[in-house]
Chain A
Amino acid sequence: DTEVTQTPKHLVMGMTNKKSLKCEQHMGHRAMYWYKQKAKKPPELMFVYSYEKLSINESVPSRFSPECPNSSLLNLHLHALQPEDSALYLCASSQDRTGAGYTFGSGTRLTVV
């Protein structure tokens, strides 16, 4: 299995909702990531979970909250989002910190109304 699986593929949520994005990989990779991509822009790193340690991009608002239940799963909890948070959210994994390359999931298209 050489895939990163993201669910759901599409999500529409109101600004008062709480939702979660899920990401799973079974490649034995030790590092997992969440990236945010706005239209016609490159992806931007939000969080890194590597060797059981979470690293946070300090510019990411607290309404985004990552959770890593085990080494194969990385969830992103969403609460009180704003319309400007609408974007494509990409999960990725890599074998280790120096990266034998990244594998990306197909993304979750999030729309906040």
Chain B
Amino acid sequence: KQEVTQIPAALSVPEGENLVLNCSFTDSAIYNLQWFRQDPGKGLTSLLLIQSSQREQTSGRLNASLDKSSGRSTLYIAASQPGDSATYLCALQGGSEKLVFGKGTKLTVNP
């Protein structure tokens, strides 16, 4: 059974800092890994999708990496801004349509 762990559970940083969010998983047989952002009471916004054959994806200030052999993914956020404050969820799709989520990292960027 796939298990996804996100560390840390919460993170508070000053504006402008670079930061890394971590995601680990137990089963390397995955189709893809997706990072989402969720604002309080809102739906999920897809940030980056990494297919199984890829090592990383970049979008603006965001960079996500995938290392299947070690069962890890990281989301790097450069030059953080208060608007980046949200909960970040890592999710994997394995042998079925089902997405398996981590519990998320709640990020607060202080002005």
Interface residues of chain A, those whose CB is within 8 Å of chain B, are: 6, 31, 33, 41-43, 45, 48, 50, 55, 88, 90, 92, 94, 97-107, 109
Contacts and interface: CB of A to CB of B under 8 A. Distances in A.
Given A99-B31, A101-B32, A104-B46, A41 B103 contact: yes
B41 A100 contact: no
Interface residues of B, number: 22
Contact of A33 (B31, B36, B43, B97): B97
Given A43-B101, A45-B98, A101 B43 contact: no
B49 interface: yes
A61 B41 CA distance: 24
A20 B4 CA distance: 32
Interface in B75-111: 89, 91, 93, 96-99, 101-104
Contacts of A43: 44, 99, 101
B26 interface: no
B57 to A, nearest CB: 10
Contacts of B34: 101-102
A86 to B, nearest CB: 13
A41 B93 CA distance: 18
B42 interface: yes
A42 B89 contact: yes
